Structure 1
Amino acid sequence: MFRPLFVFIGTRYTRAKRRNHFVSFISLTSMIGLALGVMVMIVVLSVMNGFDHEMRTRVLGMVPHATIESAQPLDDWRSLAQQVLKQPEVLAVAPFTQMQGLLSHAGKVQKILINAIDPQQEFKVSIIEDFFLPEQGSLAALEPGEFGIVIGAKAARKLGVQIGDKLTFVAPEVTVTPAGMFPRLKRFTVVGLFEVGVGEVDGYVALAHIQDIARLKRWEANQVQGLRLKFDDLFQAPQLSWAIAQRLDDQQYTAHDWTRTHGNLYQAIRMEKTMIGLLLLLIVTVAAFNIISTLVMVVTDKKADIAILRTLGATPRQIMAIFMVQGTVIGVVGTVLGAIAGMLAALGISRGIAHLEAWLGFKFLNADVYFIDYLPSQLLATDVLLVCAAALVLSFLATLYPAWRAACIQPAEALRYE
């Protein structure tokens, strides 16, 4: 098969081991360093993608994209929901009421945020139904008037309760009687347990029927605090929710969106991915520019060969191309090996860390500190291509200076002492 002269010689120099084993060793370490840099960058970006994905699907799947509320309880939420659903951006609407307080059982206390819902409407705006523990209840178990409650597995473990146990809810209000002021208490029955894997949700969020919380708030049975909205694009929620609130007949409605409660966390994840990506790119840059030292040593070692090629008629451009080919081969091989290793590691890191945690009996990610208690990973083809392209470009740029030095070698000077 025909190959240009500079390609033939450049590839021969890459694998040659006859004269200088140290130069070959430096070439190998440059290749391995570039492969490790590419692998680490792919793995870390995949982990950051995993955190981003879990944030969007789990956490933001549990909280409303936006809410529409007013200063007073809504008397006819169904007609308001019909008006909101006329907006093309809205996918689904469900009523809600929130109430904060404490749950108490057998001397143990846990702070809680009760989301009062309509079980027949909640599945339209939330993914909570997907995270009920096996044979541990469902949203359908929330019956009006029964004062049932669904809590997270973390809260259940802290309180030491199971399905069917009684809990005391302490509302942040007092009842004034002739005997004095007493906190408002209500007994609830645990009818379901869920585990999302997010400490913030599993430990501090509970669900109850919307009519039960209305009675606890001393509202009418059909009154609710507001409406939860689900959009096709949750990133448009801040603009769309405000616009929808302004379009409603009554201008007293206010809009709130997920960026007010979880926006800082999400922005922090996106910023961390960008900053970590830039830092890892510096590692790849260092590895790629090791090719410079490798090629400089090769040029020094091959001065006599370069001089002979020049006397045989090779042009400076051809000499330069020889060493550019050699450096590019090192970059391509290192990048390909790193990409393959990085993709395999990114695909298996979640299972590997889980097995390591089980073997050590220690959790690397604590749900009390992080919003999930496991290491997610999502491999994206765009990240792999971007990393590989950056590594190849840096490797190619690293060949220019040594190749230029080789092209500047004068045959008479190189062969004077040979």
Structure 2
Amino acid sequence: MFRPLEVFIGLRYTRAKRRNHFISFISLVSILGIAVGVTALITVISVMNGFDRELKQRILGMVSHATIEGVDETVRDWPEAVKLAYANPHVQGAAPYVERQAMLQGVRVSGAIVRGVVPDLEPKVSDIDQRMVQGKLTDLVAGQFGIVLGKELAMTLGVGVGDKVTVFAPEFSATPIGAIPRTKRFTVVGLFEAGMQEYDSGLAVMQMQDAQTLYRLDGPTGIRVKLDDMFRAFAVGRELAQDLAGRLGAGYYRVTDWMQGHSNFFKAVAMEKKVMFLILSLIVAVAAFNLVSTLVMLVQDKQADIAILRTLGQSPASVMGTFMVQGVLVGSLGIALGVLFGVLLASNLPAIIRWVEQTFHVAFLSPDVYYISELPSELHWEDVIWITVTAFVFCTLATLYPARRAAKTEPAAALRYE
């Protein structure tokens, strides 16, 4: 079988038994270092992907992909608006809502966001019905003034299911004794736990008609939609806003998507992922540049062989290619082992962590402290490819200096004392 001379000699040097066993030891250390670095990089990036996925699931479980709000405070003829939304091929669900701020009083007082929803339509745009820990979302009946609280908000107020909560709306009524805020007594009919403090401690849900009565509105303040592709949220939302303005009139509509309201979360995760990639890439780079010392010693050990090859007519470029083949082969072996162990570890990390916790009776992410109590991991093959390419580039760069040094070997000087 035909093989280039550089590949043949490079592979021969790799398989040959060397007189200097220290070179073999350094090569082994280089392989293991690269493998450990690549494994760590794949695992950590997969964990960051897992946290990103958990954040998105928990946030999108409580908010919709896109929100269309009426500039004129309310959306007129909301059933027609919902029908218009469903006419868009990317829309999978649509539901009206009312959202305002309020002060809630139980045993204690706390501020919260009040969201009025239609219980039958809300599951089409959020997962709040699946986050209920007590009661059901369908317990919200128009005219009965029931309210569903986040679990931590209920603890702050000191109330539970069946208790009464007074809602103070920032709407004032003129009376003989002066202006007083509008108030209404609500009955707690359920509790939910979203796993995000923003919602568990600051959101109260009621029937939309009850919210309209409390805030003196003649319709919902907006339409929330769920799409087939959440990354198209803003573009699709803008199309829907234009359709609503054209068909229903009533001025313009403001569009917000799920990332605008929670951009800090995702920017922080994306930045941390990039920083971790850079830091762990340095570990791979240090391991890869161990190849420099390995190949430098190998070049020194093979001075006579290089001189003989040069006298037989091998060009300096060919000599350089010979040692680059050996360095790249050692690096590729380390990368292959790192990818193998990294993929296996990242794919099975949650199960491994659970086994360690059960065996040694420890808790890495205590549910009493953290909302995400299990270490998430999500392997993306595009990340594995990027890591593999990066490690290969480091290994290739590490071979350049020793290979050039071998190419500059003078045959006469190398054979003078042989």
TM-score range, shorter chain: 0.7 to 0.9
Look up the match of 1:142: 140
Task: Give the Cα–Cα distance (whole angstroms) in 2 for the partners of residues 74 and 411 of structure 1.
Answer: 87
Look up the match of 1:202: 200
Task: Give the Cα–Cα distance (whole angstroms) in 1 for the partners of residues 349 and 143 of structure 2.
Answer: 47
Look up the match of 2:100: 99
Task: Give the Cα–Cα distance (whole angstroms) in 1 for the partners of residues 267 and 363 of structure 2.
Answer: 32
Task: Give the Cα–Cα distance (whole angstroms) in 2 for the partners of residues 238 and 58 of structure 1.
Answer: 20
What letter corresponds to residue 151 of structure 2 in structure 1?
A: A
**Offset at 1:116?**
0.8
**Offset at 1:205?**
1.9
Contact (CA 8 Å) 2:99, 2:221: kept in 1 or not? yes
For normalisation by structure 2, the TM-score amounts to: 0.85
Q: Does 1:257 align with 2:256?
A: yes
Look up the match of 1:387: 387
Task: Give the Cα–Cα distance (whole angstroms) in 1 for the partners of residues 16 and 128 of structure 2.
Answer: 62
**Offset at 1:380?**
0.8
**Offset at 1:59?**
1.0
The CA RMSD over aligned residues, in Å, is 3.2
Task: Give the Cα–Cα distance (whole angstroms) in 1 for the partners of residues 164 and 22 of structure 2.
Answer: 75
Superposition pairs of residues 212-223 of structure 1, within 5 angstroms? 212-219=210-217, 223=219
Task: Give the Cα–Cα distance (whole angstroms) in 2 for the partners of residues 280 and 361 of structure 1.
Answer: 26
Contact (CA 8 Å) 1:365, 1:375: kept in 2 or not? no
Give SS of 2:124's match.
coil
Task: Give the Cα–Cα distance (whole angstroms) in 1 for the partners of residues 110 and 308 of structure 2.
Answer: 83
Superposition pairs of residues 8-407 of structure 1, within 5 angstroms? 9-11=9-11, 13-14=13-14, 18-64=18-64, 65-107=66-108, 109-133=109-133, 136-219=134-217, 223-247=219-243, 248=245, 249=247, 250-258=249-257, 259-310=259-310, 316=316, 318-351=318-351, 359-360=361-362, 363=365, 375-407=375-407
Percentage identity across paired residues of the two chains: 46
What letter corresponds to residue 60 of structure 1 in structure 2?
A: L
CA change 1:325–1:219 in 2 (3 A) is closer
Task: Give the Cα–Cα distance (whole angstroms) in 2 for the partners of residues 296 and 414 of structure 1.
Answer: 15
What letter corresponds to residue 216 of structure 1 in structure 2?
A: L
Q: Deviations over 1:6-57 (max 9, x none)?
A: 5565345446665323322322222222122212221222123223323333
Contact (CA 8 Å) 1:199, 1:367: kept in 2 or not? no
Contact (CA 8 Å) 1:198, 1:367: kept in 2 or not? no
Task: Give the Cα–Cα distance (whole angstroms) in 2 for the partners of residues 41 and 355 of structure 1.
Answer: 22
Contact (CA 8 Å) 2:67, 2:222: kept in 1 or not? no
Of the structure 1 ranges 327-336 and 34-43, higher mean CA displacement relative to structure 2 is found in 34-43
What letter corresponds to residue 257 of structure 1 in structure 2?
A: T
Task: Give the Cα–Cα distance (whole angstroms) in 2 for the partners of residues 189 and 16 of structure 1.
Answer: 82
Contact (CA 8 Å) 2:100, 2:113: kept in 1 or not? yes
Contact (CA 8 Å) 2:145, 2:207: kept in 1 or not? yes
Task: Give the Cα–Cα distance (whole angstroms) in 2 for the partners of residues 70 and 274 of structure 1.
Answer: 39
Give SS of 1:130's match.
helix
Q: Deviations over 1:177-222 (max 9, x none)?
A: 33455444333333223222222222222221111112212345xx
CA change 1:355–1:236 in 2 (3 A) is same
Q: Deviations over 1:103-154 (max 9, x none)?
A: 33333x3332121100111111112233333xx2222222222222222233
Task: Give the Cα–Cα distance (whole angstroms) in 2 for the partners of residues 72 and 160 of structure 1.
Answer: 33
CA change 1:365–1:385 in 2 (3 A) is farther
Task: Give the Cα–Cα distance (whole angstroms) in 2 for the partners of residues 195 and 382 of structure 1.
Answer: 34
CA change 1:67–1:394 in 2 (3 A) is same
Task: Give the Cα–Cα distance (whole angstroms) in 1 for the partners of residues 185 and 354 of structure 2.
Answer: 39
Contact (CA 8 Å) 2:171, 2:215: kept in 1 or not? no
Task: Give the Cα–Cα distance (whole angstroms) in 2 for the partners of residues 165 and 20 of structure 1.
Answer: 82
CA change 1:105–1:355 in 2 (3 A) is farther
**Offset at 1:297?**
1.7
Give SS of 2:94's match.
strand
Task: Give the Cα–Cα distance (whole angstroms) in 1 for the partners of residues 354 and 160 of structure 2.
Answer: 27
Give SS of 1:224's match.
coil
Task: Give the Cα–Cα distance (whole angstroms) in 2 for the partners of residues 157 and 269 of structure 1.
Answer: 30
Task: Give the Cα–Cα distance (whole angstroms) in 2 for the partners of residues 177 and 411 of structure 1.
Answer: 107
**Offset at 1:244?**
2.9
Look up the match of 1:410: 410
Task: Give the Cα–Cα distance (whole angstroms) in 1 for the partners of residues 295 and 372 of structure 2.
Answer: 47
Contact (CA 8 Å) 1:149, 1:188: kept in 2 or not? yes
Structure 1: segments with no counterpart, 5+ residues: none
Count residues with an aligned counterpart: 411
Of the structure 1 ranges 353-362 and 386-395, higher mean CA displacement relative to structure 2 is found in 353-362
Task: Give the Cα–Cα distance (whole angstroms) in 1 for the partners of residues 12 and 159 of structure 2.
Answer: 72
